[in-house]
Every structure is written in C-alpha cells, then in structure tokens.
Chain A
Amino acid sequence: MGVKINVTVNGKAYSHDVEPRTLLVHYLRDTLLLTGTHVGCDTSSCGACTIHVDGIAAKSCTMLAVQADDCEITTIEGMAKGSDMHPLQEGFKECHGLQCGFCTPGMIMSSADLLSKNPNPTEDEIRHALEGNFCRCTGYHNIVRAVQYAAEKMAVEV
C-alpha cells in the first residue's frame, strides 16, 4: 500500500512510507509535526496551506505527498534563521500585517515567492501576487505594507 518518499523539508532529509492518498499538508502536519502550515478551506482557495516546493509557491492541500517525492520543501518553520526572523516575518509584526494570524504562514510563503522573482514589486504587483491568499481579519492593506517593509529591508541587506 505505502509508497516510499524522500523529501528535504527546511533543509532536513526525511524518508517515509505514505499512502498515495495522503495530502502533502497532512504529511507535513501529522507526520513531520510541522503545524505552522495551516488548513483553512481545504478546497484550494484560501492559500493558508501555501509552502514552497522546489522554490515555488504551491497549495499543499492540493498536492499529494507522493507528488513531492525527491523535492525540496520550505514551510514557514524554515523561514527564520535561528532567532532572527525573516524580513517578511518582521514586516508582518512591525506593520500589523496579522490579527488572528491564521492566514499568515501562507501569506508569508506567497510573498516570499513574489520577492524571489521580483525583489522590488509595486503595490499592484503585491496585491496580484496574493490573489490566492485570503485574510478574514486585516483588510489586506497592512499585509501589503508588510511586504513592502520586507522588500526594502532585503534590498538593504543585499
């Protein structure tokens, strides 16, 4: 029944037998106990489950764990360097980019995908890049500011 998968998650290698029907998000949360990746809608719409698979943003509720075999995965737990927050995490904190925080891991992973392709996005580009991520609390304005904060900080760091 089980299919063996090898994945690298946040730099650490794992190997497990999984049932083919196991969703990637459940593998991350229930097997690896990385519960920072959230399940919001479970219907591919809200983006709370967004992670990076081989460097690109994907909704982990809409992928099977077997599809990630041999892939490099980054989740929200892999963003900080020790006790130093990632500039996006810092931006969300400083700019009040979260209230309940449920959407935040997905927002940060989608924003990181954007900044990796476009380090200096316009406000419009930020809003478009986050079309697949819903926030029921903030009204989005402060999320956009948080991404701008991170973009500025990352430009200085380079």
Chain B
Amino acid sequence: MIPASFEYKRARSVKAAIELLADGNAKVLSGGHSLVPALKLRLNQPEMLVDIARIASLKGIKVSGKELVIGSTTTHQEIASSDIVKEHLSILAEGAGAIGDVQVRNKGTLGGSLAHADPSADWPALVLVSNAKVVLEGSGGERTLNAADFFTGFFSTALASDEIITEIRFPIPAKGTKSTYQKFVQPASRFALVGCAAMREPSGETRVAFSGVADAAFRDTGIENAISGKTLTAENINHAVSDTAKGQDIMSDHYASEEYRVHLAKVFAKRALMALA
C-alpha cells in the first residue's frame, strides 16, 4: 500500500516546525507508527509532513525541580529502559514497555501517542493517573494543559493544527508511592483491550485510570473516592470496583462487547488495587 503524494520537510527547530504547520494542510510526523499506517490506508492525506523527530530540544528525559520532564519525541523504548524513569516514576517504564512490540517501541514516541489519542493506547491512562501536564507550543505561544483537559474524546485532543506537543511534565510522587499498570493485550494488535493504571500515595490517596474501555481514556473517580484512604482489603477493593467505568461511553467492537469490556475493567481494577496492597 502506497500513501498518496505529499511534500516532506524536516524541521530543525520547534519554531521552524510551527511556521511550516501554519501553512495549510500539513501534519506533524514523529515516530510515524500511527501516521504512516494511516497514510498507507489513505485514511489521512495531508499535503505536507513536517518531520520533528530530529529536533534535539524535543528529545530526552530529565528531572527538573519536583518534576520528571520527558520530551515529546522520546521513544517508548527510551522511556521503558530509562534508569531515571525507573527511579522516579516506574509506572511509566512499565507501561511503555507494554506497548506493541520491540520494533514499535523503537520508533513510536510519547508525544505521537498522546496527539493520536487512540482510546486503546497505553500512554493516555499513564499520563492521567500520574497527573501529568502536557506542554504545547504554537504560533500563539506556549500553553500547559492538565492531561485531563488535553484529551477531549474519541481520537481527539485540545491540540490546534499549528501546535505541537513539546514536552510532558510528570510530578514526581512522594516517596513510598506505589503504582502498577495492568494490561489485557488484544492479541492481534497488542493494543490494550483494557489497561488499568493505578497509583497510591503514602497518604492513601489513590488514582485509577483506564485505557481501552471507553471512547477516551479516563480517571475512574468512582473507584478513587471509594478506596482513597481506606485499607486495601479484599472487601474494600471488591466494593470499590463494583461500579467500575460508571457513566462512561463504553466501546464495543468485534474484539469485545460492551459487557465483556466492563467485566474486564473490573477484573483489572481489582488486580491493580491488589498489587498496590
């Protein structure tokens, strides 16, 4: 399968990329592991691709103050194998290591995954559970959004057409915070049929986020409110997950019915909370 024709420009800086994007029907290219398949299927036919993969300032992992800052073009593999990530926010390494397969992790990037906002992708649940901030830059300047405000629905985000994600800022959790990412893999695509990310701070505050279940990744505030501050006993956990994904627009497709997805979500929420106990 061959994509339709397009022009290709490699941007050398964020500023240059934004200028190229202002110019009509152009699309950002990062790792290409969602965009190239879409171009091949001609689901997407932009006039120009602006390749940002080699802009040095967009790549890398560092600690800045109380935050772990990851550049948008950092690959899943770089995150999964990073000692800094493992030390400060190991759930990100765990989740990134569960994406697709080795070759996909070698090319795909954090920023690309967030911009694509596939409801079955792993990153959205991970940035939601860790209360991350997404930093965007466009012709109007820079803005920083809470992960929860960045995702706006099925494959949609708050990104404007001339904006790029530059970095993701993750608050470093308090010492003693526990976390886990539990994924039920759709065996053909390797995306999450259900992905449950959970974090519990020493104070007992607990956050739970899902991918794969609804039309967009979401924080399950029902579970969070029911279990935060309570001991993680089997009884409390069972009670907390009884209304998993309540009020969400649950997906249904030929891989999993709505009923089966909700069932799996409950099972995986339970496993996640047990793992934090």
CA distance A45 to B190 in the complex (A): 9
B8 touches A45 (CB 8 A): no
A66 at the interface (CB under 8 A from B): yes
B-chain residues with CB within 8 Å of residue A66 when the two chains form the complex: 8, 10, 51
Q: A20-B49, A63-B107, A67-B51 are in contact. Are A113 and B102 (CB under 8 A)?
A: yes
A42 touches B6 (CB 8 A): no
Residues of chain A from 16 to 43 with CB closer than 8 A to chain B in the complex: 19-21, 23, 26, 42-43
A131 touches B190 (CB 8 A): yes
A62 at the interface (CB under 8 A from B): yes
B106 touches A20 (CB 8 A): no
B102 touches A3 (CB 8 A): no
Q: A23-B2, A58-B107, A59-B103 are in contact. Are A42 and B36 (CB under 8 A)?
A: no
Partner of B102, one of A23, A44, A57, A69: A57
B-chain residues with CB within 8 Å of residue A59 when the two chains form the complex: 103-104, 107
B160 at the interface (CB under 8 A from A): no
CA distance A59 to B32 in the complex (A): 11
Cβ-closest chain A residue relative to B106:
A56
A-chain residues with CB within 8 Å of residue B235 when the two chains form the complex: none
A-chain residues with CB within 8 Å of residue B124 when the two chains form the complex: none
Tally A residues with Cβ within 8 Å of B: 30
A42 touches B101 (CB 8 A): no
How many A-B residue pairs have C-beta atoms within 8 angstroms? Tell me.
77
> What's the least CB distance linking B54 to chain A, in Å?
9
Q: A44-B37, A64-B32 are in contact. Are A21 and B2 (CB under 8 A)?
A: yes
Contact indicator per residue, chain B 202-215, by CB within 8 Å of chain A (1) or not (0)? 00000000000000
A-chain residues with CB within 8 Å of residue B188 when the two chains form the complex: 45
CA distance A136 to B34 in the complex (A): 25
A-chain residues with CB within 8 Å of residue B102 when the two chains form the complex: 57, 110, 113-114, 129, 131-132
B39 at the interface (CB under 8 A from A): yes
A62 touches B36 (CB 8 A): yes
B-chain residues with CB within 8 Å of residue A131 when the two chains form the complex: 101-102, 190
A62 touches B190 (CB 8 A): no
Cβ-closest chain A residue relative to B100:
A132
CA distance A21 to B1 in the complex (A): 10
B-chain residues with CB within 8 Å of residue A56 when the two chains form the complex: 77, 106
B3 at the interface (CB under 8 A from A): yes
B62 at the interface (CB under 8 A from A): no
A44 touches B104 (CB 8 A): yes
Counting from the closest, the 3 A-B pairs by CB-CB distance are: A132-B101, A20-B8, A131-B101
Interface residues, chain B, with chain A CB atoms under 8 Å away: 1-8, 10, 29, 32-33, 36-37, 39-40, 49, 51, 53, 77, 100-104, 106-107, 188-190
Interface residues, chain A, with chain B CB atoms under 8 Å away: 1, 3, 19-21, 23, 26, 42-45, 47, 50, 56-59, 62-64, 66-67, 69, 110, 113-114, 129, 131-133
